[in-house]
A and B are shown apart, each in its own frame.
Chain A
């Protein structure tokens, strides 16, 4: 068992002929992902890494896809996501950054009321070591294991996964939720899945300033999560009102500070590492 995707998940890539789409499709295939088709309007008939390219999502349905990776430019993301969902594709992962907030709102609203799962926008995707990968995480940092990781960032996730692997902790599922203000999944959604997942024995949450997702996660952990959880929070040094790269990473009106998140985690019995490289040591205290 794994979370959201597994070795049988058939993936299409919307925007496969672009720089990102083409490069990362290749990396995904090397990792073992089943990339069954690509879509780029006007480029139907081409092949990328031996994967057939179609003009429309509808035409890819002969391959029975379960998931899509969207790499098209921001102004076209809403159209691409709705095309995928209209055609019944269950999992929609959006790599693209700078997607207009109200477009994300429409996509996520529709997905949640019609049983689709949205990952992102503006995240590195999902990796299940030994099974599949949908997204842009570097292949070489992973090791199959029992620790699940959920994060709001990209490279910081790699940093922490790398530290886990180097210290002998393999991963069950690693997911980047996305750095935007509205994302398809938040920590609470993913905690629910990790708690149920048989392959997951411990959980690492990588949060950052902005919003209240970490505080809500802490409340949820207190009530519903039996597995050990550890966390890291980025942005302790961020001044209020300054957006730290991610659209979501901003302290406004005194809300969303690192202090508040660390306090909430500590109160829920979740140890918070001071430095990213400390995650394995902190994990050791609560897990084997």
Chain B
């Protein structure tokens, strides 16, 4: 689950990763009066909002509210703007990049840091990205921070700031079951001019030095592992990544993805469902959806799956069940029950293989539903029907 920037930053703050001062609003009038300049940032679950006009600067509250109103009505790459983050404007000296993610190849957390931040990390050359594979049994000790700080060009106080940020970020990553935590850009603010009076006092001689700036997380991208949400009750579920129909089907317990074709698909097992979609495409047919029934032999679960496929308005439905231990007669009962209950008149073609498969197919045929023992013949029949109806 992707978190909005403001939610990610709230976690950063909780874990001692410095963030700019700011607050979130859902209505323009919630923006409070201010002096100086503020950044008005669209809260949206997609990248590239800056280029789409989702980040603006305001120098008074009227201007800020006007910009917020505009941004709140925007849609960025198909995503509605959820809220506005109002923040202090940072004086930027340089932008860096820092992230931690689960690396599937090494099966370990991977830290990536780069002195070239503020751009898509994909566009940064590999030799400018410093990587560190974390052994979770050791965790991120200060030496990891020192090693990366050196490569990043941080010395003295900045190296300490960087190490703290990295260690705190890793703690957050582990404790909140994150798939990814990303700070891009990690901003180094401009240092302040510090004038020190020199000895003897009152001589009028001062020494001017520049105090180092602060490292601040100017943006946040946090992705939480959905399977762990049961132990993070403090996180609100962000629903916007799914279409309304996907959300409805998912709530009912089906893995469901909407696609843009016209053949409704119900299959069992994620791999077989994917293979079914692929096969349809290779036969020149376009799937309308992905629906994984899971390992069930319940009449109701089979029947209810049709609810969501029908809501997607397909022209025909393909059911592909390889019933390892699933009883095919039960699945057949579910299909027949759905046909009656939902008054389905469009063609349904079924592949049923597994325990009691012959009974299952016989039941279907008796109810006017085409049934086959293998996937290939089912899809060929479907193609024949769909081409015949054109």
Interface residues of A in 146-169 (CB under 8 A from B): 151-159, 162
| Distance A245 CA – B225 CA, assembled complex (angstroms) | 14
Q: Are the CB atoms of B272 and A113 closer together than 8 Å?
A: no
CB closest chain-B residue, reference A100 = B228
- B residues in contact (CB < 8 Å) with A: 102, 104-105, 107-109, 122, 135-137, 174, 177, 179, 225, 227-228, 230-231, 255, 257, 259, 267-275, 277-282, 287, 290, 292, 295, 322-325, 353-355, 374-376
B104 adjacent to A182 (CB under 8 Å): yes
Instruction: Pick the 5 closest A-B CB pairs, nearest first.
Output: A153-B271, A245-B270, A155-B269, A156-B271, A138-B324
Q: Please name 28 pairs of A and B residues whose Cβ atoms are closer than 8 Å in the assembled complex, sorted by A.
A: A100-B225, A101-B179, A102-B228, A109-B107, A109-B137, A124-B324, A138-B354, A152-B271, A153-B269, A154-B269, A154-B271, A156-B272, A158-B324, A159-B272, A159-B375, A179-B271, A232-B275, A234-B278, A236-B278, A237-B287, A238-B277, A242-B257, A244-B273, A246-B270, A249-B274, A254-B122, A274-B282, A275-B279
Q: Is A110 an interface residue when CB atoms closer than 8 A count as contact? A: yes
B275 touches A276 (CB 8 A): yes
What is the count of residue pairs linking A and B with beta-carbon distances less than 8 angstroms?
164
Considering the chains assembled together, what is the distance between the CA atoms of A148 and B313 in angstroms?
A: 42
A101-B102 CB under 8 A given contacts A158-B322, A245-B292: yes
A206 interface contact, C-beta 8 A: yes
Shortest CB distance A125–B (Å): 11
A181 CB-CB contact with B under 8 Å: yes
Q: Are the C-beta atoms of A151 and B281 separated by less than 8 Å?
A: no
Which chain B positions have C-beta within 8 A of A208? Answer: 270-271, 274
Q: In angstroms, how far is the closest chain A Cβ from the Cβ of B33?
A: 40
Count of residues in A whose CB is under 8 Å from the partner chain: 65
User: Which residues of the other chain, B, contact A206 by a CB distance below 8 angstroms?
Assistant: 271
**Whole-angstrom distance from the CB of A33 to the nearest CB of chain B?**
15
A197 within 8 A of B: no
In the complex, chain A residues whose CB is within 8 Å of the CB of B269: 153-156, 245
Interface centre among B135, B275, B278 (most CB of A within 10 A): B275
Cβ–Cβ < 8 Å partners of A274 in chain B:
282
In the complex, whether A105 has a CB less than 8 A from a CB of chain B is yes
Judged by a CB distance under 8 angstroms, whether A235 is at the interface is yes
A103, A105, A179, A245: the one contacting B290 at CB < 8 Å is A245
CB distance B273 to A245 under 8 Å? yes
Q: Which of B137, B271, B281, B295 contacts A237 (CB 8 A)?
A: B281
Add 11 more A-B contacts to A109-B107, A136-B324, A182-B104 (CB < 8 A): A100-B227, A102-B225, A108-B107, A138-B324, A154-B271, A159-B322, A181-B102, A186-B105, A236-B278, A242-B257, A249-B271
